[in-house]
A = this chain, B = another copy of it.
Amino acid sequence: MILCDIGNTNFHFFIDDKEQMYSLDSTLPSLDGKVYYISVNEKATTKLKLFYKETIDLEPYINFDTSYSGMGLDRKMACLGVENAIIVDAGSAITVDIIKKGKHKGGFILPGLSSLKKVYPQISQKLSFAFNTKVNLDKIPLCTQDAISYGIIQSIIEPIKKISKKQEVIFTGGDGEFLSTFIKNSNYKRDLIFNNMRGIIDANNCIT
């Protein structure tokens, strides 16, 4: 089964239980079989449909109830079937969604980790430092490299902690594993979106 999650920056393929990423402007891989996809990017969707013989859009099969207007399909897919949790998809943007008693309560959007890293040198060359992944958040920084690294991590982690309170936080997305290390009651589910896509396909025999 070939799955594809089309984001803002990359095609994320899931083939034989492994993720393969291709940037939106790169050449797509030759593949045999149906490509099941969800997409938040129309232009990339057109590219996918032109390149592969059989593509199946899973959007019509996503049954997700929310009062949130304009919620991306990937966000909905990540939240499917959750009863009580904060879902954090840490990609080029970081989406944070709150689910309580099976109901989507809303969410917010932070800039992605890589975007935040790029912002500092744009403000001033004096703020151009390598990101220190090992910065200690329990100590107040005493040099600029740590001051920036601390600022980047806390600007992501603290807003999430604020709304999570004691709820479980589930991370997914490229930076999810790293970020999950900063929140105690958290889990990293690398293939959350693909697993939910597979769940939809399995539940709808008609589309297999």
Contact = CB atoms under 8 A, between A and B. Distances in A.
Interface stretch (A107-115, A173-181, A189-197): A107-115
Contacts of A139: 106
Interface stretch (A11-19, A49-57, A77-85, A146-154): A146-154
Interface residues of A, number: 48
Interface stretch (A28-36, A120-128, A199-207): A120-128
Given A106-B140, A115-B123, 20 more contacts: A40-B126, A68-B147, A92-B123, A93-B123, A93-B124, A93-B127, A95-B147, A108-B146, A108-B148, A108-B150, A108-B151, A108-B154, A109-B127, A109-B144, A109-B147, A110-B155, A111-B120, A115-B119, A151-B159, A158-B161
Interface of A: 8, 40, 67-70, 72, 92-93, 95-96, 98, 105-112, 115-116, 119-120, 122-124, 126-127, 139-144, 146-148, 150-151, 154-156, 158-159, 161-163
